[in-house]
């Protein structure tokens, strides 16, 4: 008897990595095509300007320049679409064109394109283009943009308001506040962040004149969706005329979900010139012109009783969406934010109002966590504020207000489908135990006597993964302009090798590894004989892509179901081979046999061979083991957890040092714990980065002051603590594997753990709130002014 080792649950190293860490990856900029030309983009130095004229004659004369195009040349294609017009955006969805014409609305707005023999010439030519700009007044702050007299960006969006959206119960909430024993009010800013994937973005387009077909290699998290948007919306050509391929993608964090101008202008120019056109952003362009994240200004109030019961939550947020709408921008500060604003707490009356605002800044869209970090930061800060106000232990306030296990499925009243499952207290307890909560409070008191400022911050979070079902998220409900199902095809080849094609698009999530683990176990085949193919619209079934921590819960479930179908068919064929009744066949460990006679088994390899050569198949059974599933989940999944940070603040300088970082997360059944930990580490790093370091800063003229890595502080390893992680496991009832998603939990759970700790450390100074990032100077000022 062979013993079968279970693959699911094992911390396998990622099969993707050897290639990447030995420099053998194949990224966009590694691809070189015959006759390839190179594009460079002239970008407006002004954040708001009328463009009176563009003179390209000198630039055209530079040897090696093939062509120069402006926005006026590209009027035969449509603006990029906005695919998630959540929040009643309809009448004023202003999206970017391949190149802007007539006006530039942010510093970095592309207004002319040089195509040249190499990228050096293309870059040199930019300096020779002469533009007559007429600078216009600028507004960068979302709240100021809505005030009377503010510069206006779009004629159809008075006061720069793109949408006003709300959720929850306004009257009940107002009533809760008017009768509340305690209310606490704060203005909380969730600052702008720049996603900073290691690889910048770009596209390489080829046009085949003979067939009228485009091929575009792109740094995209969602090539199938790009194919749809670029053909049906931008170019108005049949979908079949475009093939999209994502080669290795060097990190995305959301920034690479969207449809970008470069996809459109490389395609347009490739068709015009009959030559492939490549465009790869440099880091400065990535910072100035690709999407940013967060950027909320929020007035928030919490109401409760003196003994710690939260009775109301009222939120008004100004969400900066940038100069135009990016592909899914409106959905982020609405569905993915307001609807989860009550977090892990049973809050009887809550209301959230959001203003989506245009400003003269780069577009803002999903960035790791997308709406949920903003929501969990808000509620977790306010719970701490409330606890401090009533003089109660913040851990106890949380415990007292947690949604209880018996409450699930739980409707939070904010228009979300019910939270699928949860058990919040064990995660809190475990985290408190790991950090030594009781001892810490003594240590803290002792340290304060010696002029040392220690602080501890708790964050109990819940988030939304695998957003679905399509009937809820789609147009009639939340305004997402399509579905959110996922697909997987599985084929068992004649040789017994298993090939999976998926619509998901892993770019660092380790999906090739986890999906192979699932197939190996479910089908009972060696892990090594499972190949996962993805990222090319030719050869993979349609999928919505990898983001929102959805690949496992949605794509993985599609795969799981396809495997089940393959097993069913294999059983039928095995019955035929064994001359038995299909109903008597069992399938286990890669073999099919008549119940009770496992020694007379047919292996999957034998069955696949039989199915493939098709010399003898049961009546009505088609050749080949090949099954596809399109899976639309009945609900989202709701991972949760508690993170706790301990920090020490230097009383002289305000510098924050992280002493401990504990995280207890519940992402459902773990497929690969090593990958989960890796995702959490990266996610927590990004949350800590928001709390302490990163800040996308525009000056009042709309110049991005933090426009290089010399000023935008992405932390390195030495600026981050060791993570002490543990898990609780509450399987999700939404899908058969009981999985939830782990890609964003770390980011969603972490920033407020740090900020709550910093503010706790500053309690002796009477500090009640501090905006992020908690730079040394900010902390120092808070200590000075109290």
d(CA 229, CA 236): 9
CB of 710 to another protein, least distance (A): 4
Under rule CB under 8 A, residue 710 binds another protein: yes
Beta strands in 194-254, from DSSP E residues, in sequence order: 202-208, 213-218, 242-245
Q: Which stretch binds another protein (CB under 8 A): 63-71, 116-124, 350-358, 435-443?
A: 116-124
Size of the site for another protein (CB under 8 A): 32
Contact call for residue 786 and another protein (CB under 8 A): no
Q: What minimum distance in Å lies between the beta carbon of 255 and another protein?
A: 18
Regarding 62 and contact with another protein (CB under 8 A), the answer is: no
Least Å from the CB of residue 256 to another protein:
20
For another protein, which is the closer residue by CB, 408 or 780?
Answer: 780
Three-state SS sequence of 585-648: EEEECCEEEECCCHHHCEEHHHHHHHHHHCCCCCCCCCCCEEEEEEECCCCCECCEEEEEEEEE
CA separation for the pair 694, 191 (Å, rounded) = 9
781 counts as binding another protein under rule CB under 8 A? yes
Q: Which is nearer to another protein, 127 or 134 (CB)?
A: 127
Residue 720 interacts with another protein (CB under 8 A)? no
Inter-axis angle of helices 557-577 and 604-613, to 10 degrees? 80
What's the closest the beta carbon of residue 281 comes to another protein, in angstroms?
10
> Does residue 407 touch another protein according to CB under 8 A?
no
Q: In terms of CB distance, is 451 or 596 closer to another protein?
A: 451
Which of 107/664 has CB closer to another protein?
Answer: 107
Least separation in angstroms between CB 200 and another protein? 10
In the range 689-708, which residues lie near another protein by CB under 8 A? 692-693, 695, 697, 705-706, 708
Show contacts with another protein in window 121-160 (CB under 8 A). 123-124, 127
Query: Least separation, in Å, of the C-beta of 123 and another protein?
Result: 4
Judged by CB, which is closer to another protein: 673, or 715?
715
Q: Which of 219, 291, 513, 775 binds another protein (CB under 8 A)?
A: 775
Distance (Å, rounded) from C-alpha 239 to C-alpha 224? 10
C-alpha pair distances (Å), 50 with each of 103, 153, 571, 718:
5, 11, 69, 46
Q: Which of 475, 546, 195, 190 is nearest to 341 (CA)?
A: 190
Alpha helical stretches, state H, 334-393: 372-390
State which of residues 283, 441, 595, 786 lies at the interface with another protein (CB under 8 A). Answer: 283
Q: Is 115 helix (H, G, I), strand (E, B) or coil?
A: strand
Distance in angstroms (rounded) separating the CA atoms of residues 374 and 332: 10
Q: Where are the beta strands (DSSP E) in 305-393?
A: 310-322, 350-358
CA-to-CA distance for 58 and 124, rounded, in angstroms?
A: 11
H or E element in which residue 686 lies: helix 673-688
Decide: is 306 part of the binding site for another protein (CB under 8 A).
no
Q: How far apart are CA 522 and CA 329, in angstroms?
A: 38
Per-residue string for binding with another protein, 644-683, x by CB under 8 A?
--------xx-x----------------------------
711 binds another protein (CB under 8 A): yes
Going 98 to 103 to 106 to 107, the CA torsion angle's sign is positive
- Closest CB to another protein among residues 583, 718: 718
Judged by CB, which is closer to another protein: 692, or 734?
692
Q: Is 198 in the site for another protein (CB under 8 A)?
A: no
Cα 207 to Cα 503: distance, rounded to the nearest angstrom: 24
Cβ of 63: how many Cβ atoms within 10 Å? 7
In whole angstroms, the minimum distance from the beta carbon of 650 to another protein comes to 9
- Gyration radius (Cα) of the chain, Å: 27
Distance of alpha carbon 542 from alpha carbon 409, whole angstroms: 31
| Minimal distance, residue 690 CB to another protein, in Å | 13
Q: Map residues 73-102 to x or -, x wherever contact with another protein holds by CB under 8 A.
A: ------------------------------
Using the rule CB under 8 A, which residue among 341, 712, 725, 735 binds another protein? 712
Strands 724-727 and 656-666: parallel
Please report, as ranges, the residues that interact with another protein according to CB under 8 A: 119-120, 123-124, 127, 282-284, 652-653, 655, 692-693, 695, 697, 705-706, 708-716, 719, 775-777, 780-781
């Amino acid at each position: 008897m062979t013993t079968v080792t279970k693959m699911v649950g094992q911390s396998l190293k990622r099969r993707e990595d050897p290639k990447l860490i030995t420099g053998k990856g194949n990224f966009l900029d590694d691809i070189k095509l015959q006759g390839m030309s190179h594009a460079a983009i002239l970008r407006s130095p002004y954040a708001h300007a009328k463009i009176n004229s563009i003179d390209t004659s000198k630039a055209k004369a530079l040897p090696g320049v093939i062509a120069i195009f402006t926005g006026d040349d590209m009027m035969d294609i449509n603006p990029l679409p906005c695919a998630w017009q959540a929040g009643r955006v309809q009448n004023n969805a202003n999206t970017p064109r391949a190149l802007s014409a007539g006006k530039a609305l942010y510093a970095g707005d592309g207004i002319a394109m040089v195509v040249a023999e190499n990228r050096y010439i293309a870059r040199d030519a930019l300096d020779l283009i002469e533009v007559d700009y007429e600078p216009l007044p600028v507004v960068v702050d979302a709240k100021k943009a809505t005030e009377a007299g503010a510069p206006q960006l779009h004629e159809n969006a008075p006061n720069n308001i793109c949408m006003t959206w709300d959720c929850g119960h306004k009257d009940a909430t107002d009533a809760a506040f008017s009768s509340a024993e305690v209310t606490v009010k704060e203005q909380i800013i969730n600052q702008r962040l720049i996603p900073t994937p290691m690889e910048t973005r770009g596209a390489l387009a080829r046009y085949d004149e003979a067939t009228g077909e485009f091929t575009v290699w792109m740094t995209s998290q969602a090539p199938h969706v790009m194919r749809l948007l670029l053909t049906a919306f931008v170019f108005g050509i049949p979908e079949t005329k475009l093939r999209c391929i994502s080669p290795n993608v060097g990190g995305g964090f959301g920034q690479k979900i969207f449809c970008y101008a470069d996809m459109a202008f490389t395609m347009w120019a490739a068709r015009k010139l009959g030559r492939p056109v490549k465009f790869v952003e440099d880091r400065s362009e990535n910072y100035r012109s690709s999407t940013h994240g967060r950027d909320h200004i929020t007035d928030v109030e919490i109401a409760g009783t003196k003994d710690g019961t939260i009775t109301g939550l009222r939120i008004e947020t100004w969400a900066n969406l940038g100069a135009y709408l990016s592909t899914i921008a409106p959905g982020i500060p609405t569905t993915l934010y307001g609807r989860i604003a009550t977090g892990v707490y049973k809050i009887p009356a809550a209301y959230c109002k959001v203003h989506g605002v245009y400003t003269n800044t780069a577009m803002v869209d999903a960035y790791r966590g997308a709406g949920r970090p903003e929501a969990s930061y808000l509620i977790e800060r306010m719970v701490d504020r409330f606890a401090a106000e009533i003089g109660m232990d913040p851990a106890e306030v949380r415990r007292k207000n947690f949604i209880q296990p018996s409450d699930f499925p739980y409707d939070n009243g904010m228009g979300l489908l019910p939270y699928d499952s949860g058990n919040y207290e064990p995660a809190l307890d475990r985290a408190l135990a790991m950090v030594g909560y009781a001892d810490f409070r003594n240590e803290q008191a002792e340290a304060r006597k010696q002029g040392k400022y220690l602080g501890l911050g708790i964050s109990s979070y819940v988030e939304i993964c695998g957003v679905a079902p399509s009937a809820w998220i789609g147009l009639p409900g939340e305004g997402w302009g399509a579905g959110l199902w996922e697909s997987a095809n599985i084929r068992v080849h004649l040789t017994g090798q298993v090939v999976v094609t998926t619509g998901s698009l892993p770019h660092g999530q380790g999906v090739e590894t986890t999906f192979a683990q699932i197939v190996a176990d479910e089908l009972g085949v060696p892990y090594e004989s499972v190949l996962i193919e993805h990222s090319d619209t030719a050869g993979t079934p349609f999928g919505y892509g990898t983001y929102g921590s959805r690949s496992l819960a949605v794509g993985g479930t599609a795969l799981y179901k396809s495997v089940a179908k393959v097993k069913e068919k294999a059983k039928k064929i095995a019955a035929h081979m064994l001359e038995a009744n299909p109903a008597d066949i069992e399938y286990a460990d890669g073999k099919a046999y008549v119940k009770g006679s496992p020694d007379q088994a047919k292996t999957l390899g034998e069955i696949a061979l039989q199915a493939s050569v098709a010399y003898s198949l049961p009546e009505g059974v088609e050749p080949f083991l090949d099954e596809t599933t399109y899976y639309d989940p009945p609900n989202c999944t709701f991972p949760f957890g508690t993170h706790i940070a301990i920090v020490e603040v230097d009383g002289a300088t305000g510098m924050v040092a992280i002493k401990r970082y504990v995280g207890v997360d519940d992402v459902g059944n773990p497929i690969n714990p090593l990958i989960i930990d890796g995702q959490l580490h990266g996610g927590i790093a990004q949350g800590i980065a928001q709390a302490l370091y990163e800040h996308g800063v525009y000056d009042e003229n709309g110049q991005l002051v933090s426009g290089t890595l010399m000023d935008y502080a992405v932390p390195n390893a030495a600026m981050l603590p060791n993570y002490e992680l543990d898990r609780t496991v509450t399987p999700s009832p939404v899908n058969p594997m009981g999985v939830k998603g782990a890609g964003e939990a770390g980011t969603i759970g972490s920033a407020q753990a740090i900020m709550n700790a910093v503010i706790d450390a500053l309690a002796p100074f009477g500090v009640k709130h501090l905006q992020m990032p908690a730079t040394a100077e900010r902390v120092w000022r808070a200590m000075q002014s109290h």
